[in-house]
Chains A and B, each alone.
Chain A
């Protein structure tokens, strides 16, 4: 089985879809965060794949650079997101997003 761009894209699309499904369906805030992380991972995979299989070989590892930045930002995002979850839990004694509807119009 030869690794081609299509395979990576399919895997990436599957990963994104699973992440989206998780983010949309789970009720627990932390699982939503995990879903978002999965979508980010899918995007990272796309970056690497397009970089690896591009017909013109870039002299610098451009795709890797993008991914490294994304991972760093994702780490920061996860830290902020978890902190918010903890704060929300302390305040509302729940992390169930169905019940957190204070921003309702």
Chain B
């Protein structure tokens, strides 16, 4: 069994993809079959993932890979494969479990949609593509699945294609991530040029096992690969697509922000971490410094913007961007295990928050503005309770919530970064802001009284939607058992160590710092928003700052007026060049051709054709004249012969 699963780990991504193809084959009206197949596929993937998870527990530093030749050209052969290690196994279980909850939730949320079965096909496809990214043992295969993830996200963000904003958001997501992928692809080419293989692990010959061979180019390869990761994981300056991706249905947002799309970038950096850390001095390389600073800027910027957003999903979107920045910082400072742990924990509580937001939106008949909500605590008790768990986990409340422990690990890793202490303090500021904006959101949505009267018809969601919420909330709390410093099981598992129990580590001085900061954030939130009306208190106090943040620091506008304007200008120039220069050239060449054509036409008609015509006319005249001689009168013929003979005689006689 162990052997079989390590050799057939490809089954994990294959199952949801096959399910997706089956659903597309069923057609539009097979709604029951579509959901059945999608959820069965996800359950099967979860079971296979769990089976694959078990052998990784038995031995430390477990790593099994199965490589095969994809195709051969000339001397070279391209090999791809699948790998199973703690990183992949943990990700697989998280993705399939969170995915399953989201699938079940979608049953309720999308029940009235006319393209219900198509939705489930895309959802399955999305999940399968992401699982493919996780188990790929070749950078090329990873890239293939990476692009499939991008395609699936495009299809799902633009699922309500009849809305222009959804179509635009889908395009924006696709194109923005494509910019990063361009760098990623160049990095792949460079890596192949340097190492001659794209396999991660190949019994000592993989590109990750020989990073020393890359030399100085490893920095550039790492940065190019990071471009791709930044695009997918919404890092500054490629983060602009993520908030717009909220145009998709809420379960899609949950899937994108928790389990699949954005996790891919962080996962990629963790997967090729040896390239980033090649030639590290004291755990610091120039590529890792870039990762850290991009992460810090992203984390802080997104947290600031989130404070001034009013769309319930947009706040969560910016919180995702901020948390991804945090993970990147963690990876950059060397805390790979901490970053991945935060990614896994974040997967659960962010899915929980998005599904909770989906439940609120569903209950309020597609109202998304938090300023018009309020007092939902009593109307939607299950949603409120689970949402509160997610909010506390995201804010990083220590001891009880998984997010608190993982955030602690990240801060711990950052504080020991030898290069600079600035990221650590900026992250602490981010912690306060996170607690603040989450409190603000919860205050607006669940506390106080109704503002715009939209909650008169509010109702608790059906159990098909609340049960996944409860499961995810239990995961968000329960996962912390494996995360405490006293028994850092998950960290040891990811790093391949033995986990030791040491109860003294449970209370560290640093946790008190977090406790104070989170408490400050939440307290500030309570105090600021305790009687918040439709006008945000911050807006009243510091309108300029609020406007700046509400408009997302005008980054979209800056892009529009710089890069997009430049692109528009370049396209206008190209258009002009095409119209007048290239087209003119083509026209001149065409004109020369036309003149030649006229010349040859004249020669053909005047000389050759006329010659042929005259010849035929002459031949016809001769023929007509000759045919007149043939009267058919046999005796005339005979007479002519006789006369001819006579003439011959006379000629002969004259000669002699």
Interface residues of A (CB under 8 A from B): 20, 23-25, 32, 97-98, 100-105
Contact = CB atoms under 8 A, between A and B. Distances in A.
B639 A24 contact: yes
Contacts of A24: 635, 638-639, 642
8 contacts: A24-B635, A97-B634, A97-B635, A100-B634, A103-B630, A104-B630, A104-B632, A105-B628
A51 B626 CA distance: 43
A105 B639 contact: no
B629 interface: yes
Contacts of A103: 630, 632
Contacts of B627: 105
A25 B626 CA distance: 25
B288 to A, nearest CB: 105
B360 to A, nearest CB: 106
Contact of B632 (A23, A25, A32, A102): A102
B interface, over-half SS: helix
B631 interface: yes
B633 A97 contact: yes
Contacts of B635: 23-25, 32, 97
A101 B633 contact: yes
- Rank and list the top 5 A-B pairs by shortest CB-CB distance, nearest first: A105-B630, A101-B632, A105-B627, A104-B632, A103-B632
Interface residues of B, number: 13
Given A101-B631, A105-B629, 14 more contacts: A20-B642, A24-B642, A25-B635, A97-B634, A98-B633, A101-B632, A101-B633, A102-B632, A103-B630, A104-B630, A104-B631, A104-B632, A105-B627, A105-B632
Identify which of A100, A102, A105 gathers the most chain B CB atoms within 10 Å of its CB. A105
A104 B629 CA distance: 8
**Which of the listed residues B626, B630, B638 has the most CB atoms from chain A within 10 Å of its own CB?**
B638
A23 B635 CA distance: 7
Contacts of B630: 103-105
B634 A105 contact: no
B289 to A, nearest CB: 106
Contacts of B629: 105
Interface in B628-656: 628-635, 638-639, 642
A77 to B, nearest CB: 15
Contacts of A20: 642
Interface in B468-504: none
Nearest to A25: B635
A15 B628 CA distance: 33
A101 B535 CA distance: 119
Contacts of A97: 633-635
Contacts of B631: 101, 104-105
Contacts of B632: 100-105
A103 B637 CA distance: 12
A20 B635 CA distance: 10
Interface in B604-642: 626-635, 638-639, 642
Contacts of A104: 630-632
B625 to A, nearest CB: 10
A6 B252 CA distance: 132
A23 B638 CA distance: 8
A31 to B, nearest CB: 11
Contacts of A98: 633
A103 B627 CA distance: 10
Contacts of B638: 23-24
A103 B634 CA distance: 9
